[in-house]
A and B are shown apart, each in its own frame.
Chain A
Amino acid sequence: MGLLTILKKMREKERELRLLVLGLDNAGKTTLLKRFNGEDVTGTAPTLGFNIKTLEHRGFKLNVWDVGGQSSLRSYWRNYFESTDGLVWVVDSGDRERLQLCGKELRGLLREERLAGATLLVFANKQDLPGALPASAIREALELDSIRSHHWCIQGCSAFTGHNLLPGIDWLLDDIASRVCPPD
């Protein structure tokens, strides 16, 4: 295996990213995924298990893993952490009651060794619904500004309408692509 082979492999690898979509149940993770994939988003049922979708975006091949958010499934999340380039944390901006729990779960994730170095994108979802908190409020509630371990960004959006999804994902891709050091 010479340098040219390495380069060829690396070029393929660099174009292939693994994204993990997590969040509490009913945050809209599967809807987000379906919207990305151009599928019908109405009538999405709670995810029992997990979905994997492969998407092409800006020349990247995105392997997106969406795992159910019910509390019983959360202990299984870490089975999916391996070689994750980007973590997409989806928040139900209208679910004020569980914002604290939401923040706690996120903190837990960020302490995971295997997610160290991954880029974090927070989607403040369901902005299309009345009563949704703005992204800035979510940012405050989740205490994002105290995160030092990860590159992060918060983006208000609506998975249902598709609003603002692309800018968020584009930021995520840019951030991952601008790294020069490979994660292990």
Chain B
Amino acid sequence: MPVRAFILTSLLQISFFSGIMDKYQEQPHLLDRHLEWMMTLLLDIVRDNGSPPQLVHLAFKFLYIITKVRGYKVFLPLFPHEVRDLQPVLDMLVDQNPKDPETWETRYMLLLWLSMICLIPFDLARFDGNISEEEHTRVPTMDRILAVAKCYLVVSDKARDAAAVLVSKFIVRPDVKQKRMADFLDWTLSMISKSSFQSMEGTVVMNGMLQALAQLFKHAKREDCLPYAATVLECLDNCKLSESNQMVLRKLGMKLVQRLGLTFVKPKVAKWRYQRGCRSLAANLQAQGSVVQSQMTTVAANEADDEEEYDIPGEIENVVEQLLVGLKDKDTIVRWSAAKGIGRITGRLPKELADDVIGSLLDCFSFQETDNAWHGGCLALAELGRRGLLLPSRISDVVPVILRALTYDEKRGACSVGSNVRDAACYVCWAFARAYDPTELIPFINQIASALIIAAVFDRDVNCRRAASAAFQENVGRQGTFPHGIDILTAADYFAVGNRVNCYLTISVYIAGFPQYTQPMIDHLVNMKINHWDSVIRELSTKALHNLTPRASEYMANVVLPRLLPLSVGTDLHTRHGAILACAEITHALCKLAEENNRSITHYFDEKSLEGLKQIHEEVCIKYKCLIPFMFFTVSAGWQWLINDSLRSLTFASSTARQHIKESAVSALAALCNEYYINEKGEADSALQDELVTMYVSELQNTEEMVRCGFSRALGALPRFLLKGRLQQVLEGLKQVTLISPGNVSFAEARRDALIAIAKVCQTAGVKGEGSQEEYVCKDNVAQIYAMLLNGVTDYTTDSRGDVGGWVREAAMRSLMEVTLLLVQNEAELIDANICKQIMCCVAQQSAEKIDKFRAHAGSVFLALLHFDHPPIPHIPHREELERIFPRSEKETLNWNAASEAFPRITQLLALPAYQYSVLLGLSVSVGGLTETTLRYSAQSLFDYMKKIQNDSSALESFCETLLKVFEDNLRNDRVSVPLLTMLDQMLANGCFDTFTMQENHPFPVKLFTLCKEEIKRSKDIRKLRSSIGEPSTGTSVFAFPQHLELRFPGHCPAQSVFFPVFSRFCGLIQFQGDMREKVFFQLFLLLCHPFPVIRKTTASQVYEMLITYSDVLDPAIMDSVLTILSDTNWEAELPVVREKRNCLCDLMNVPKPQLPPSPFSCTASKGDLSW
């Protein structure tokens, strides 16, 4: 196979294979049963002398992919490790190029393999034969291996890790140890002292040396290492690795220092290793196994306390000190390493020294320390606990610390740290469960159980909740003393605690049913969670308090509420927010309780609490983003002020909170009015009404949009007795909001809310045709109401947020529908034919527009009006035809959102004279729009319609008339005219007007041309210009042009000015006979000298293409010369040059030469005037 092909296929194979292997990453042990055959297969390739080197490398790459997933430790024993493997593997390794970046996997695997072969229990000298006698130059095998190992310890790729493994297995061999260990250690120490972690190379070398030493001191026999340990420790101290910012080096340092520590002290076997915290289950199983045991004799090891006394070397203090510092390291893996080290070393120390370590360890838990120290401290405690090294006398010191760590949460800016501390604290609890005898933990069991439950249910982070649940389970299983352990565990298992809302609102209530947990849970929420930095937690915990109230109503009323009340007026915003919410939730829950038990609410609230609650109302201000749950309090005083103030302060709230505040304030207002502002006769207090309505109406003219929104909606929520006699004032006020004036163009949300409010006011006031316009919707004001709403449907405001007018149109349509349905159900005669036509037409127009969401809304309104039956809406134009187009059976299934369904229907309305104008107006925006699907379906539907009327001249005439009218009405209205031009372009290209091309000087093209000319006059929008010359059929390709143009002329042509449809129009118009042609050419030649070079160039190429397409428009005799000038001229050259060429064309084609207009129209591109 050729080399390149081989490389290619092998790359493919590698990615395929690692794709399979990666799937095992989570549970790599599933690979175990397949490891052997995979290995055999691959090693067969390696060992086959006939395999080309590339194939061998490929096999090693595959092996590496497997070890990467499974880990090399599992993999190692599978390597063949017979005597005969030694030489070939060593030879292969020596042949490698240590620097080849393509084949490091080969080196890595070979080194690992060699480390396995090194375990053969034979003296290496036996492989060397009689060297000394035969050839002096031959190096002994031992030194060859050592040389390879040293060589790879200083490389920067992964082979270095394997070299460290090799060293640890090789140096500890009895023969090598005796001859080479001292030398090797000297070498590593001198390498270390020569390098610095400040440099790249130094880091690489130190990494290799530290790995080698750490592995060596781990695997070698303690006695063998002991003589060197002090020297190595000294060298390590001199490195000052803790100052390095290389995390890996610090971690390796931590590993090595603990290995050295372990070398200084003898191992001890934990005497209780079979006994503590035994699961009762395990005991049962052992009883069953007694049959077997009777046949055998077991003698338990002597557990007598025979602690051997011997001197602990002074170095241990240094080592422990370094490990304690390592616990506070900024990187987790370093802390982990340190914690394990603490555990291992303490396990070998005599009691008193071990206890000293624990004493220093407890220093990690102070409030000056960082979360890193807390985390490291917890890890170390857990390691000690797991090994049973905390004496029972220390448990009383440790438990309070752990309880604090279980809820550790330190604020850092906008969020907090500490989830790792809480997780580690769970680990401690888990370890205690295993290591301690239940009797030792009994005094603390209630505290630990409550704290774990609280963490399992109320922790913010899912991993902590799960860890706490796991620790709880371990305690239940091993200690068997947790109150109601099994029941709780069933409710709060690993999966159940995954869902936080469920934890807070459901599981907590269940657990609080066990009395010993109720109060700690409530206290935790009040002390730690209602002031949490995460507002979701604050709100959840207050809801939880609500749900927990029935479990401890007296406690809530007598202890919790009094504690919360002062907090709710404090200075800390989070606390304040949480406390207010909590007061509200608890009060609400207590009210419900009182209701259920038929008790007075004062059963739960004493005078002081009530006073406090009132005070909250007065103090609370919306500016602090405190969301007041208005509905919960039913005691008055200051309410009106509060609601008004919230509405006024909407501006200060975040946009998400705003909507919520507005809704709650408005609904509270309605409740409040109904409750307090009505007298016995069902009327309003007139002074109060006057004050309220006047103030609200005046706020409608506030300069803040949000205030207008709020008060519009508030007016909409006023009950009937407050509107009575004031209806005109309210409607007039709302009308002012709906009007667009120069100062408030962007106040779309205010206009939307006013339109919504108008419908609400109408609904509240009710209908009475002959009634007073101050009280009812009646014949005197119905026209005015409709005028406001219909005006809303024409709101096309856009700003930086996009089509904000869409909100207004949407609200206007909904309100139109609501008011119309209201009228038709009460006094249908108030709807006259004209109004009904206007409504239907403007909704039809919206149903043909381009934005899916608004079109769908319009469609549903249209159908709702059409299909309303109780009673039917009178005067709907063309009702019969509409019912045919939109049969009731499809009311539910028709999807207006989908352009493919909406446009085929709506274009059918073009045939209905009443709707033709509106639908065409809406349609032109869609057909000429930019969205691919909308464009495609709307255009297709339009063309289908055009094809249908092609032979019906009256229909066609009427269509064209309407089209021209739409154009004329929207001249210079870019929202409509630009897409309209694009639509015309496409219609021309699709031969929609072919009938007219036969007639000389047909009025339609003439009129169209005039309008086009009018449209581009003095226009600087390039897209429009380009489009007007553009060849119809190339319309789509020109779409990409504006961006291109924008890149070349930044600033000259703002992106939103989209001009080009006018251009295409001219070229399209060429096909019409008569004077038209000359006029078109004249216009095009004007553009050939446009101040923008790019326009000149485009015009030239478009004219060129046009002439080729409609070849009959030119005398064949001059065709060639014209085309040559068009194609050979550099139209981007200086204007005088270009003008000369253009004039040649004029002469050739007998078109009058455009003359330069007198100043001030002399061309300046920056002004964007067209220079003729």
Chain A residues in the interface with B (C-beta under 8 A): 1-4, 6-7, 12, 48-50, 52, 54, 61, 63, 67-68, 72-73, 75-80, 82, 113-114, 116-117, 139, 144-145, 147-155, 167-168, 170-171, 174-175, 178-182, 184
Whether the Cβ atoms of A79 and B467 lie closer than 8 Å is: no
The 6 closest A-B pairs by CB, nearest first: A76-B121, A148-B302, A3-B467, A181-B273, A73-B121, A52-B77
Whether the Cβ atoms of B222 and A184 lie closer than 8 Å is: no
> Given the complex of chains A and B, what is the CA–CA distance between A175 and B277 in angstroms?
16
The answer to whether residues A180 and B423 also contact, given A7-B470, A82-B219 and a CB cut-off of 8 A, is: no
A75's nearest neighbour on chain B, judged by CB, is B174
A70's nearest neighbour on chain B, judged by CB, is B121
Whether the Cβ atoms of B269 and A116 lie closer than 8 Å is: yes
Tell me the smallest distance from the CB of B257 to a CB of chain A, in Å: 16
Q: Is B430 an interface residue (CB 8 A)?
A: yes
Q: Which of B420-439 contact A (CB under 8 A)?
A: 420, 423-424, 426-427, 430, 434-435
What B residues does A113 contact at CB under 8 A?
221-222, 266-267
Q: Is B892 an interface residue (CB 8 A)?
A: no
> Given the complex of chains A and B, what is the CA–CA distance between A106 and B730 in angstroms?
104
What B residues does A50 contact at CB under 8 A?
81, 119-121
Interface bits B22-48 vs A (CB < 8 Å: 1, else 0): 000000010010000000000000000
> Given the complex of chains A and B, what is the CA–CA distance between A68 and B120 in angstroms?
10
Tell me the smallest distance from the CB of B205 to a CB of chain A, in Å: 27
What A residues does B1036 contact at CB under 8 A?
none
Q: Is B278 an interface residue (CB 8 A)?
A: yes
B343's nearest neighbour on chain A, judged by CB, is A184
Q: Is B91 an interface residue (CB 8 A)?
A: no
What B residues does A182 contact at CB under 8 A?
386-387
Q: Count residues of B near A (Cβ-Cβ below 8 Å).
A: 63
Q: Is B676 an interface residue (CB 8 A)?
A: no
> Given the complex of chains A and B, what is the CA–CA distance between A178 and B424 in angstroms?
25
Q: Is B293 an interface residue (CB 8 A)?
A: yes
Tell me the smallest distance from the CB of B173 to a CB of chain A, in Å: 7
> Given the complex of chains A and B, what is the CA–CA distance between A149 and B859 in angstroms?
88
One of B119, B169, B221, B301 near A150 (C-beta < 8 A): B301
Whether the Cβ atoms of B466 and A4 lie closer than 8 Å is: yes
The answer to whether residues A178 and B274 also contact, given A3-B427, A68-B121 and a CB cut-off of 8 A, is: yes
Whether the Cβ atoms of A114 and B274 lie closer than 8 Å is: no
Q: Which of B352-408 contact A (CB under 8 A)?
A: 386-388
Name the residue among B29, B121, B266, B332 with the largest chain A CB count within 10 angstroms. B121
One of B270, B295, B301, B388 near A148 (C-beta < 8 A): B301
Tell me the smallest distance from the CB of A147 to a CB of chain B, in Å: 7
Chain B residues in the interface with A (C-beta under 8 A): 29, 32, 77, 81-83, 119-122, 169, 172-174, 219, 221-222, 262, 266-267, 269-270, 272-278, 282, 285-286, 289, 292-293, 295-302, 332, 336, 344, 347, 386-388, 420, 423-424, 426-427, 430, 434-435, 463, 466-467, 470-471
B172's nearest neighbour on chain A, judged by CB, is A79
What B residues does A147 contact at CB under 8 A?
299, 301
What A residues does B169 contact at CB under 8 A?
79
> Given the complex of chains A and B, what is the CA–CA distance between A168 and B29 in angstroms?
27
Tell me the smallest distance from the CB of A108 to a CB of chain B, in Å: 13
Whether the Cβ atoms of B302 and A2 lie closer than 8 Å is: no
Whether the Cβ atoms of A114 and B299 lie closer than 8 Å is: no
B79's nearest neighbour on chain A, judged by CB, is A52
B119's nearest neighbour on chain A, judged by CB, is A79
What A residues does B282 contact at CB under 8 A?
178
> Given the complex of chains A and B, what is the CA–CA distance between A145 and B420 in angstroms?
49
What A residues does B81 contact at CB under 8 A?
49-50, 52
Whether the Cβ atoms of A155 and B296 lie closer than 8 Å is: yes
The answer to whether residues A149 and B274 also contact, given A48-B83, A76-B174 and a CB cut-off of 8 A, is: no
> Given the complex of chains A and B, what is the CA–CA distance between A54 and B78 in angstroms?
9
One of A3, A79, A150, A171 near B173 (C-beta < 8 A): A79
Tell me the smallest distance from the CB of A34 to a CB of chain B, in Å: 16
The answer to whether residues A179 and B120 also contact, given A4-B470, A167-B295 and a CB cut-off of 8 A, is: no
What A residues does B386 contact at CB under 8 A?
181-182
What A residues does B336 contact at CB under 8 A?
1
Name the residue among B273, B285, B386 with the largest chain A CB count within 10 angstroms. B273
Tell me the smallest distance from the CB of B441 to a CB of chain A, in Å: 14
Whether the Cβ atoms of A181 and B463 lie closer than 8 Å is: no
